[in-house]
Structure 1
């Protein structure tokens, strides 16, 4: 009897894309030297698929257009920050206990499909259209013989309409987004919407939206990734809060301006905080339903 030998599996396209993005973070970190660049070149030469993933990641990074120099990316730690954060913690704790209620459950009660905080889900509708719900999101579906209508009740969703003569319309925050031949996402931000077109064209009122060059980064959440390139820490934290329970607060204003770059895994939201601690010399204090960065 012979033992079976497990053959090594080739990396998937998603794996290569993630690795290529990770390389961009390293190369633009301000600490990469000749050895890292040589290893990157060798990685690119492993196969045509590696080279293609590298080109796409380089283009994506360039499209973001916010890459900072090493000096800008270096953490601007305030010497007195550790002494000041106690008062901020007290105020933040009050806000967390009074104002935080998690994602409002009311939209889910009246929705056909919904996700919990931290959950993502892809639904195939009756006509073959696909809807991918982001964290804490909810939609309802109302198809008729004349049109296909989806109502975004809360959160964010990516829509991939199937070919059909009927218009495909998304109702969200008092607006209608029509994109029968497009791939697009809609995100509710307060009483307004953010629409990102990944493919084709979508119409919002009298405005025609075309493919966004940053669409791959802006919709990376559907692949379980968050991509930041020179984003202020306050914006990074606001985005992370969408994917986990509880509040994350920053101890002082200047710290919120710290520039952050990286590719983070949504399947392990806590790892983002750990990475911030390690890369930017931050401290995180954990309390029930609250994390404080200082």
Structure 2
């Protein structure tokens, strides 16, 4: 894009663009930002007419933008675009990294204030001072606050599987904001998605307390809690499947593609988007290796009627 007639400050990235495809995406982001000037729109038309390759890249980027426009992630992305300033954004906007960034760095602050943390795609097996075990899932953070009368751990972000050792004198308590899980010898997981908590009990029983009536959860039960909303009833589930991530696997049986992709996305940097709601509802079954998200996408492409288009930090299913 160094052949553009406008100064670098008035257009998307110039000499920093790595390819025509990246440059074309930069233009789409700018043109749909609500901040594009008449001069910039004219410069775009000149840019796309530079060569047949420029025209082809522009057409592909325009088509991709149209496909992304049907997804919830794209709506959020455009909302951020409309309220921001183009000149203040980092160069990675070129490949829709504004959509990516929300999923890449969200855990960094909890990581700085925690005793244990994992990066995206990483897991950590922890043995606490009393012998209790914790498996920390991708992009998670945990702090330990043991005292003489209580063994408390605080899940600051992400997900963890807990296997506490029984000790009648010192109860084992997992805290997430103002909610608490009390357990003896058992195995259970807790996941935090913003203000939403999901508890899955694999073995034993767990008591869930907080700003609601206490609930006792048994093995093969799941409970979901949303701050400010009524507490939902327990669900009967296959807890071994739901906690298979501890063994490096994700197991799905007739689950919507949108849900499957949402899980796979947790284990990789970047975003995975689905082009339309009909495809997102496609029922998926299978066992996937969570350490190989790209291989999982290839497996989906082989088994189901969909295609995957790869861009920097972005994969689109269509």
Q: Quick one: distance in 2 between partners of 1:252 and 1:240?
A: 18
> Which of 263, 267, 284 is matched with 1:260 structurally?
284
> Which of 148, 154, 158 is matched with 1:155 structurally?
158
In the alignment, is the contact (CA less than 8 A) between 1:115 and 1:134 conserved in 2? yes
> Which of 184, 190, 199 is matched with 1:186 structurally?
190
Q: Quick one: distance in 2 between partners of 1:99 and 1:106?
A: 19
1:1-294 equivalences in 2 (<5 Å): 87-89=66-68, 95=77, 96-101=96-101, 102-104=104-106, 105-164=108-167, 165-205=169-209, 206-212=214-220, 213-294=237-318
Q: CA RMSD in A?
A: 1.8
In the alignment, is the contact (CA less than 8 A) between 2:308 and 2:317 conserved in 1? yes
DSSP-derived class of the 1:109 partner: helix
In the alignment, is the contact (CA less than 8 A) between 1:173 and 1:188 conserved in 2? no
Q: Quick one: distance in 2 between partners of 1:103 and 1:242?
A: 12
Q: Shift of the alpha carbon at 1:140?
A: 0.2
Uncovered stretches (5+) of structure 2, i.e. residues with no partner: 1-61, 78-95, 221-236
Uncovered stretches (5+) of structure 1, i.e. residues with no partner: 1-82
In the alignment, is the contact (CA less than 8 A) between 1:160 and 1:184 conserved in 2? yes
DSSP-derived class of the 2:266 partner: helix
Q: TM-score normalised to the size of structure 2?
A: 0.64
Bigger mean CA offset, 224-233 vs 91-100: 91-100
Larger radius of gyration: 2
Q: Shift of the alpha carbon at 1:265?
A: 0.8
Q: Quick one: distance in 2 between partners of 1:121 and 1:288?
A: 28
Q: Quick one: distance in 2 between partners of 1:163 and 1:259?
A: 41
Q: Shift of the alpha carbon at 1:163?
A: 2.5
Which of structure 1's runs of 4+ aligned residues deviate more than 3 A? 83-86, 89-94
